[in-house]
Amino acid sequence: MHLRSASCILGVMALSLRSARTASPEAEISPVSSLVQNKRVAEALAAIDQLGVWTTEQQIRLTEIPAPTFQESARGEAIRKLFASARLRTRTDSAGNVIGERPGVSRRDAILISAHLDTVFPQGTCTKVQRDGRRLTAPGISDNGTGLAALACLARALHIAKLRTHLTLLFAANPCEEGEGNLRGMRKLTETFRGRLRAVIAVDGAATDHITTMALASRRVEIALCGSGGHSWADFGMPNPAHALARGITKFLSIRVPDSPRTTFNVGVIQAGTAVNTICGRAVAKVDMRSESAAELDRLEAALRKSIESGVGEEMAAAAQAGHTTDPRIEIAYRTLGERPGGELPADAPLLEAIRQADRYLNNQSRLERSSTDANIPLSLGIPAIAVGGGGRSGGAHSPCEWYDPTCRELGVKRILLTVLALSGVEP
Ligand SMILES: [Zn+2]
């Protein structure tokens, strides 16, 4: 009897799961228009408004704790305390992800809301926030002070409203989004929670005008040219790795990339030499390449390698002409610093419908965007994911004069809250 009714229930569950999969995206979410009628949801929205000044104070405090990529632990500990004060169950994993878990009715299925901890600024950069009216200026104030502040505000607002969600909410402040971090934090999060994640929302920077649903594939390589080195006068004409690198890069810069699929490159770092009167022993360049097409990315990297080899060839030929033997040679070493896979959120994903409903309710205009963010990893694994801003306005990202203005920040945080609740559903 028991067994039969159990199998009956299982049969019904399997049926409803199947029909859920084939249902329209609207059918798979809690409509935002009815969610906002819920008293606790209304309280959470009101709390976001009331937390405005507090949220900006947290953003300033977090931004002033330096967090270059690979050195995020002090900032991570500060946000862990914020998570704990909102009664999230916190832990820090082996990759340095600070995770705050807010159990839902379902302990298994979860929505991950993340913000990266790291900045592009090296240790020693002054991170003191300058205030000028509502405008805040400091390296990293928006990217990603805004994302971290949004997570802190969201967790606190949910706690104040005592909101019970159906799905478990996982808040994560993750390391290694910038520079050579190669999305290590997000890779670890998707590995840990794979199978449980119904959606991932990465909060990165300011604004409310975009939804990043397309992950831009990118590749970052280091090229190192090594020679024997020598004296600028006595050994003149000897193969010089710095000269060879300059020749190679010049060739690479003249190659044409298509507008569509949009393809870009940047020689971001060039390092060589120890003294002006020395033929250096080693010259290094770091190159970032991005494309909407994986094939174009392959073509671009092949062109880079060919250009560098050709530059080295010219340098060797010039040395031979100047009477130097072709020994010592310049050796070329390539190293992949990072590879971000591409991916795309399907147009009929419930996650997209959820944020569109949130935008309609909040009267917010937004467009779909392609970008390279933490969302690349879940998207490449087929997990529904988007990256959005945390509200407010900003400029000068990745520069020392980066600024942020928190006017209308509440809109950004409410937008994320309603998207999460529409996907998760709440207790009546
Ligand atoms: Zn960022």
Report the separation in Å between the CA atom of 213 and the middle of ligand 1, taken as the mean of its atom positions: 16
Report the separation in Å between the CA atom of 424 and the middle of ligand 1, taken as the mean of its atom positions: 26
* pLDDT tens digits, one per residue of 331-370: 999 999 989 998 999 999 999 999 999 999 999 999 999 9
Q: Are 76 and 91 in contact (CB under 8 A)?
A: no
1 has a pLDDT exceeding 90: no
Residues of the chain with pLDDT > 90, as a percent, come to: 87
> Please, which pLDDT band fits residue 328 given cuts at 50, 70 and 90?
confident
> How many other CB atoms are found less than 10 A from the CB of residue 179?
22
DSSP letters spanning 19-51 = HHHHS-GGGGS--HHHHTTSHHHHHHHHHHHHT
For residues 279-298, average pLDDT: 94
| CA gap 147, 404 in Å, rounded | 12
| CA gap 180, 89 in Å, rounded | 30
Judge residue 373's burial from the number of C-beta atoms within 10 Å of its C-beta, 0-12 exposed, 13-18 middle, 19 or more buried. Answer: buried
Residue of 398, 421, 408, 64 whose CA lies nearest to 204: 398
Report the separation in Å between the CA atom of 47 and the middle of ligand 1, taken as the mean of its atom positions: 26
Tokens of 40: 């606790």
* pLDDT tens digits, one per residue of 210-245: 999 999 999 999 999 999 999 999 999 999 999 999
Report the separation in Å between the CA atom of 410 and the middle of ligand 1, taken as the mean of its atom positions: 19
Report the separation in Å between the CA atom of 204 and the middle of ligand 1, taken as the mean of its atom positions: 5
21 has a pLDDT exceeding 60: no
Q: Which residues contact 370 (CB under 8 A, 6 or more apart)?
A: 212, 213, 214, 215, 216, 292
- What angle (nearest 5°) sits at the alpha carbon of residue 112, between those of residues 107 and 117? 135
Q: Which residues contact 383 (CB under 8 A, 6 or more apart)?
A: 190, 194, 197, 199, 200
| CA gap 295, 405 in Å, rounded | 40
Report the separation in Å between the CA atom of 389 and the middle of ligand 1, taken as the mean of its atom positions: 9
Residue of 123, 127, 124, 148 whose CA lies nearest to 136: 127
Taking each continuous run of H as one helix and of E as one strand, the counts in the chain are 12, 19
| CA gap 226, 338 in Å, rounded | 22
Report the separation in Å between the CA atom of 5 and the middle of ligand 1, taken as the mean of its atom positions: 51
Report the separation in Å between the CA atom of 253 and the middle of ligand 1, taken as the mean of its atom positions: 27
Strand partners, 370: 214
23 has a pLDDT exceeding 70: no
20 has a pLDDT exceeding 70: no
| CA gap 202, 383 in Å, rounded | 13
Residue 423 has a pLDDT of: 97
Report the separation in Å between the CA atom of 116 and the middle of ligand 1, taken as the mean of its atom positions: 7
Return mean pLDDT, the chain. Answer: 92
Q: Which residues contact 140 (CB under 8 A, 6 or more apart)?
A: 63, 67, 119, 120, 121, 127, 402
Report the separation in Å between the CA atom of 367 and the middle of ligand 1, taken as the mean of its atom positions: 19
* pLDDT tens digits, one per residue of 245-287: 999 999 999 999 999 999 999 999 999 999 999 999 999 999 9
Residues of the chain with pLDDT > 70, as a percent, come to: 94
> Please, which pLDDT band fits residue 8 given cuts at 50, 70 and 90?
very low
Host H or E run for residue 336: strand 331-340
Report the separation in Å between the CA atom of 419 and the middle of ligand 1, taken as the mean of its atom positions: 20
